[in-house]
Amino acid sequence: MPKTGLIFFPAFDWAISPTHPEREERLLYTRDQIFEEGILDHAEIIEYKPRLATEKDIARVHFCVPNINARTTTAHLISAGSALKLGDALMTGEITNGFSHVRPPGHHAMRIVYGNRGFCNINNEAILVEYLRKQYGLRKIAIVDTDVHHGDGTQDIFYHDPDLLFISMHQDGRTLYPGTGFIDEVGGPGAYLKNINIPLPPGTSDEGFLRVWREIINPVLKNFEPELIINSAGQDNHFTDPMAIMQVSA
């Protein structure tokens, strides 16, 4: 029976400010719905507890200024470690896929880390990629970033990596932070077309979102034939999000 791993960590002790949109309620609402729908009662769902990422896990990806301890809190280590926990469960055959429902987020964190960028200090997806490569020998991995903002940090880290396919679909950077993610950002000379950006016009609805997935993203993934697909699953393309202008439904 296929099984899905789930980790939930709202990081109650980490906040940018008391009223900032990136706060624990974002996760708690979803957690309530998970309980109400009885999802955890299904035999196909395995709930895991998070673990801490180590300094070595972070150092495989980031150069932190002045050091890792200055740029991370325990919440960051747990958020990244949650992805690693599910990665281990996947590689050992306990689960067939997993969802890490955690904060702080990560996809704006670049190779060199000076501080917080777009709510992100360290890049959870990138840390997972390099961990799986080190521990299990995976090479060809795809990251599909469906957050409403361009995953500029992930792009920066893997821009010259021919074995990492990065696809980001996001609200057009001319209208939203971080102002990047255009179609001519296609990867370095040794990784041409391994970086694909799909900027969407403000107001894109379910129809446009799904059309991009079916007609662009899915064929590109099939052609690349990755050993693993990671979804950087920001939910801020939802029509109620206060910091974007998209019309995607739940």
Q: Does the pLDDT value for residue 98 go beyond 90?
A: yes
H or E segment and range at residue 47: strand 45-48
* Angle between helix 74-91 and helix 124-136 axes, rounded to 10 deg: 40
Q: What's the pLDDT score for residue 42?
A: 94
- Do 22 and 89 sit in the same domain of this protein? yes
* Active centre residues (catalytic): 108
Q: Specify the number of domains making up the chain.
A: 2
Nearest one of 170, 140, 159, 161 to 232, comparing CA atoms: 170
User: Helix or strand or coil: residue 119?
Assistant: coil
Same domain, 12 and 58: yes
Q: Do 172 and 122 reside in the same domain of the chain?
A: no
Final residue before a domain boundary, out of 78, 106, 138? 138
CA angle 89, 235, 154 (to 5 degrees): 65
| pLDDT tens digit sequence for 46-86 | 999 999 999 999 999 999 999 999 999 999 999 999 999 99
Task: Determine what percent of the chain is predicted with pLDDT higher than 90.
Answer: 86
Q: What is the pLDDT of residues 156-170, one digit of tens each?
A: 999 999 999 999 999
Structural domain range at position 77? 1-138
Name the token pair of 52. Answer: 């801490």
Least confident of 29-38, 108-117, 200-209: 29-38
Banded pLDDT at 205 (limits 50, 70, 90): very high
- The count of other CB atoms within 10 Å of the CB of residue 176 is 20
Final residue in a domain of this structure, among 121, 138, 155: 138
| Interatomic CA distance for residues 142 and 222, integer angstroms | 11
Element (H, E) at 143: strand 141-145
Cα–Cα distance, 70 to 91 (Å, whole number): 32
Q: What's the predicted TM-score (pTM) here?
A: 0.95
Amino acid present at 59: A
Give, for 29, the enclosing helix (H) or strand (E): helix 25-36
Q: Does pLDDT of 213 surpass 90?
A: yes
pLDDT at 224: 98
- In this structure, are residues 150 and 181 in contact, taking their beta carbons and an 8 Å threshold? yes
